[in-house]
């Protein structure tokens, strides 16, 4: 999807967009371990086209080149851990070289965009039409991100109650399509009113979803043991979507905001960068898990 603003004779620069992005997603809001903000690119370089992506990988870098993007805004950091080389013979070094040679700047907004309001999980909550979305884990008082509506994940109410099976189908239809789809854990007939969501890997917020009184929790990258123990303890039903699909909705909100603020063309990449490319469902399972237990 592309968001356009009237072209300007005097286009903004990388530095102009970085300043605006830093103001909307202050780097101080990011987790300690995270690495956000400008990654590479000349500050004085003019920007006419922007590409928004979840992952800065060879495929999205090629898309940026095809579209003539002067700036990529990515969700996941390209360089999260310390590096001692960006030699083009390495995977990430190749990306760095390709970007610099194409004069394409790179900017990252990650956990600082997760806690922002509006942020990554607001866009996910909106896909399910959740009412009155509020933080699943509010930013701690006194922390840099503390403030009205800010924090990790969101929790809100469905416009009308749905069975878990219906909610899983709704999520599969409303989220960007992936091979992974949406899988759910819990009684398919459980009635769901309050839903917690968290874009990306959200299993560290399982207890928050229980504490928030959610009937179901939608996130990505859920694992066998934490999920099983959470359900055994009577926690909300779980919906596990593709990581990329839970974060991709935010890019539309980001792109519309950028195009409204600067005379630039902003495109959202629909390249599914989730690693999973195939999903072969088993033959129908005869009965829910509980009926198999002795």
Binding positions for Zn ion, rule: CB under 5 A: 200
Q: Which is nearer to Zn ion, 186 or 200 (CB)?
A: 200
The answer to whether the Cα torsion of 157, 159, 161, 162 is positive or negative is negative
Q: Which is nearer to Zn ion, 12 or 176 (CB)?
A: 176
CB of 205 to Zn ion, least distance (A): 13
CB of 243 to Zn ion, least distance (A): 6
Q: How many CB atoms lie within 10 A of CB 160?
A: 7
Are 165 and 189 in contact by the 8 Å Cβ rule? The answer is yes
Instruction: Report d(CA 267, CA 44) in Å as an integer.
Output: 22
Place of tokens 């980001």: 254
Joined together, the tokens standing for residue 228 give 């099983």
Q: Which is nearer to Zn ion, 244 or 262 (CB)?
A: 244
CA distances from 99 to 9, 88, 117, 208 (A): 25, 11, 30, 40
Instruction: Report d(CA 48, CA 46) in Å as an integer.
Output: 7
Q: Which is nearer to Zn ion, 25 or 262 (CB)?
A: 25
CB of 55 to Zn ion, least distance (A): 9
Q: Which is nearer to Zn ion, 12 or 200 (CB)?
A: 200
Beta bridge partners of 194: 157
Name the residue number minimizing CB distance to Zn ion.
200
Instruction: Report d(CA 23, CA 146) in Å as an integer.
Output: 15
CB of 75 to Zn ion, least distance (A): 6
CB of 116 to Zn ion, least distance (A): 14
């Amino acid at each position: 999807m592309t968001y356009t603003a009237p072209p300007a004779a005097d286009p903004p620069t990388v530095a102009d967009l970085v300043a605006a992005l830093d103001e909307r997603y202050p780097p101080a809001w990011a987790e300690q371990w995270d690495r956000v903000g400008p990654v590479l690119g000349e500050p004085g370089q003019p920007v006419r086209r922007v590409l928004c992506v979840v992952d800065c990988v060879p495929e999205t870098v090629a898309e940026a080149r095809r579209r003539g993007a002067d700036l990529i805004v990515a969700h996941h950091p390209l360089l999260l851990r310390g590096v001692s080389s960006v030699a083009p013979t390495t995977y990430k070094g190749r990306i760095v070289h390709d970007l610099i040679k194409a004069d394409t700047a790179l900017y990252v907004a990650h956990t600082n965009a997760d806690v922002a309001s509006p942020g990554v999980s607001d866009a996910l909550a909106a896909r399910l039409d959740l009412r009155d979305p509020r933080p699943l884990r509010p930013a701690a008082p006194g922390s840099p991100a503390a403030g009205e509506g800010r924090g990790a994940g969101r929790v809100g109410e469905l416009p009308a109650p749905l069975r878990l099976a219906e909610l899983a189908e709704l999520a599969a239809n409303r989220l960007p399509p992936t091979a992974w789809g949406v899988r759910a854990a819990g009684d398919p007939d459980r009635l769901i009113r309050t839903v917690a969501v968290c874009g990306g890997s959200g299993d560290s917020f399982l207890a928050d979803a229980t504490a928030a009184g959610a009937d179901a929790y939608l996130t990505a990258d859920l694992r066998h043991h934490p999920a099983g123990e959470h359900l055994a303890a009577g926690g909300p039903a779980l919906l596990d979507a593709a990581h990329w699909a839970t974060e991709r909705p935010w890019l539309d909100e980001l792109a519309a905001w950028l195009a409204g603020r600067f005379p630039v063309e902003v495109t959202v990449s629909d390249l599914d960068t989730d690693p999973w490319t195939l999903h072969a469902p088993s033959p129908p399972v005869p009965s829910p898990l509980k009926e198999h237990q002795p």
